[in-house]
């Protein structure tokens, strides 16, 4: 079954009474990310339901976090120069 971009939703459910969070997703990107977490850390992350378009996962609620703003990285001139040297030349 093919979903529209709008239908590829991810929903995070948590409440004050429980220590676990539930994540429902129909987005393939999120499913892959969460499947990797389940594989690497099965004692904390579980896939509890799956069908042809979506999966539902549980995890400790304390693993959910929100950011106040995007993280910016400031590189020194030396770091910029080393990064430049690692990049392949494309002007040839």
Residue 30 maps to a domain: yes
Residue 53 maps to a domain: yes
Domain count across the chain: 1
Q: What are the angstrom distances between the C-alpha of 42 and each of 3, 16, 24, 37, 84?
A: 28, 24, 17, 7, 40
Report whether pLDDT(10) > 60.
yes
d(CA 48, CA 35): 11
> 35-87 pLDDT, tens per residue?
999 999 999 999 999 999 999 999 999 999 998 888 888 999 999 999 888 88
Residue 91 maps to a domain: no
* pTM of the predicted structure, to 2 decimals: 0.74
């Amino acid at each position: 079954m093919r979903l529209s971009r709008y239908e590829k939703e991810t929903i995070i459910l948590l409440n004050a009474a429980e220590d676990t969070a539930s994540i429902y997703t129909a987005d393939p990107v999120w499913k892959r990310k969460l499947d990797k977490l389940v594989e690497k850390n099965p004692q904390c992350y579980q896939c509890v339901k799956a069908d042809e378009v979506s999966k539902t996962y549980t995890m400790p609620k304390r693993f959910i976090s929100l950011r106040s703003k995007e993280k910016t990285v400031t590189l020194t001139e030396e770091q910029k120069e080393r990064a430049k040297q690692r990049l392949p030349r494309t002007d040839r």
